[in-house]
């Protein structure tokens, strides 16, 4: 199967051809500008020392400071982080944020670690990358299995090193220490805006639309709430333990409580069990992969029966699968557009921090909606104008803006 990095590179090659990118600039875009690997020693609760591998890939900063999340996951590897950093670069450019792209990751299993172990890991990792990050250099944020608490530890560690409080060094912080209203749900709110705009632009009715969501973490669970509020019927959801289905729609409010109490969505009253693979192949109006990469591949793409795939996760569809979906007339709203609400709200948090302000939820959401709708419209218009898919159009917009910045800056020396 295609790896995420191969997927990201193939996308870049496709768009280089579509845009006629200068070969020298194409060459620059194939590589991350800087890659940091750190071996992070941590004293575990049993007194033993373990060494974790951590990465920070700084992909491109032609449009502004590096920006992107940090993930904690046993499957993290350098090529995956590179791919995710490349996608962050295009994502920030599509949203027209003054940022470049980066990503970080630590190979670990946070589900098997205590809070204290996670804190020690986070603080030591931060210490080891502290020279390379900063409010105007590289601004981390949460990603898979990291959260606002992780960001608070990063900010505190960085601030201890500097000798003064630097809230603007990370985004996605708790509100009590400079986080923004609405940041936590922003990725899902952004995906929901994309669903709404898709329904407008492509005439897919929203009332009673059936929705299947893979992943019930921060992105998937909040998305289920927003889409249910918009009148959709959430017929299936899944998490790492398995999935559930109910034709008439799941009561998401009750399901959230059930998941909080039992740690899983499986066994929810009135639902049938189904596997993560089966969920992807359900007949539905909207399918939202909101978990990990490489879920829709050339193996299952022909069995996808959704009308629209809206990518809450990063890189859930391989390039081969993307082609198959297109042949089958399935519309794909790509990750770098659909899930950009998270980084848009991160930008709003950073702006508030730099100006020592705190905006209301209404104000944050107004800016978020404005940005999301603008990006969606630009991508949709470009896709119509050039006769390309929404993904190709999104890449053309994002990569095109980065190319423009690189050209204008020129090459040093």
Which residues of the shown chain bind ligand GLU in the complex (CB under 6 A)?
A: 67-69, 141, 143, 171, 314, 339, 342-343, 346
Judged by beta carbon, residue 146 or residue 318, the one nearer ligand GLU is: 146
Nearer to ligand GLU, 103 or 246 (CB): 103
CA distance 67 to 319: 25
d(CA 293, CA 159): 33
Minimum gap (Å) between residue 80 Cβ and ligand GLU: 12
Count of beta carbons in the 10 Å neighbourhood of residue 10: 15
For the bound state, the minimum distance from the C-beta of residue 181 to ligand GLU, rounded and expressed in Å, comes to 15
Burial classification of residue 209, based on how many CB atoms lie within 10 Å of its CB (0-12 exposed, 13-18 middle, 19 or more buried): buried
Report d(CA 305, CA 325) in Å as an integer. Answer: 9
Smallest gap from residue 44 Cβ to ligand GLU (A): 27
Minimum CB distance to ligand GLU, residue 143 (Å): 4
Q: How far is the CB of 140 from ligand GLU (least distance, A)?
A: 7
Check: CB of residue 99 under 8 Å from CB of residue 64: yes
- Residue 182, sorted as left (phi over 0), alpha (psi -120 to 50) or beta, turns out to be left
**Residue number with CB closer to ligand GLU (181 or 285):** 181
Q: Of 68 and 400, which has the nearer Cβ to ligand GLU?
A: 68
CA angle, residues 262, 52, 139, in degrees to nearest 5: 85
Which residue of the chain is nearest ligand GLU when measured via CB? 69
Q: Which residue, 102 or 282, has its beta carbon nearer to ligand GLU?
A: 102
> Residue 224 Cβ, how far from ligand GLU at the closest point, in Å?
19
Residues assigned a catalytic role: 103
In the complex with ligand GLU, the residue whose CB is nearer, 83 or 382, is 83
């Amino acid at each position: 199967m295609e790896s995420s990095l191969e997927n990201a590179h193939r996308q870049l090659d496709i768009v280089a051809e579509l845009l006629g990118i200068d070969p020298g600039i194409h060459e620059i875009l194939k590589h991350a500008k800087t890659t940091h690997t750190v071996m992070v020693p941590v004293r575990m609760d049993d007194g033993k020392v373990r060494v974790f591998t951590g990465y920070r890939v700084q992909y491109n900063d032609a449009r502004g400071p590096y920006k992107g999340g940090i993930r904690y996951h046993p499957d993290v590897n350098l090529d995956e982080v590179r791919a995710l950093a490349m996608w962050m670069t295009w994502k920030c450019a599509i949203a027209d944020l003054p940022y470049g792209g980066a990503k970080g990751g630590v190979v670990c299993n946070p589900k098997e670690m205590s809070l204290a172990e996670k804190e020690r890991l986070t603080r030591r990792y931060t210490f080891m990358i502290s020279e390379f990050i900063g409010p105007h250099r590289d601004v981390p944020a949460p990603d898979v299995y990291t959260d606002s608490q992780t960001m608070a530890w990063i900010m505190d560690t960085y601030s201890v090193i500097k000798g003064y409080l630097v809230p603007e060094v990370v985004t996605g912080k708790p509100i009590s220490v400079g986080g923004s209203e609405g940041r936590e749900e922003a990725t899902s709110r952004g995906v929901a805006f994309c669903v709404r705009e898709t329904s407008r632009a492509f005439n897919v009715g929203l009332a009673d639309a059936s929705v299947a969501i893979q992943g019930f973490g921060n992105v998937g669970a909040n998305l289920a709430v927003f889409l249910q509020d918009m009148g959709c019927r959430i017929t299936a959801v899944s998490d790492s333990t398995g999935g559930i289905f109910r034709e008439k729609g799941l009561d998401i409010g009750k399901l959230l409580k059930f998941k909080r109490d039992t740690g899983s969505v499986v066994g929810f009253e009135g639902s049938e069990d189904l596997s993560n693979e089966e969920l992807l192949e359900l007949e539905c109006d909207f399918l939202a992969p909101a978990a990990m990469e490489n879920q829709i591949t050339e193996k299952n793409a022909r069995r996808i029966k959704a009308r629209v795939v809206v990518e809450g996760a990063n890189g859930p569809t391989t390039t081969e699968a993307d082609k198959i979906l297109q042949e089958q007339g399935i519309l794909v709203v790509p990750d770098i557009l659909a899930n950009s609400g998270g980084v848009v709200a991160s930008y709003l948090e950073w702006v508030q921090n730099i100006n020592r302000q705190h905006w209301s939820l209404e104000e944050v959401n107004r800016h978020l909606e404005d940005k999301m709708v603008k990006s969606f419209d630009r991508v949709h218009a470009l896709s119509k104008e050039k006769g390309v898919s929404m993904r190709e159009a999104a890449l053309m917009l994002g990569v095109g803006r980065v190319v423009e910045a690189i050209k204008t800056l020129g090459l040093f020396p």
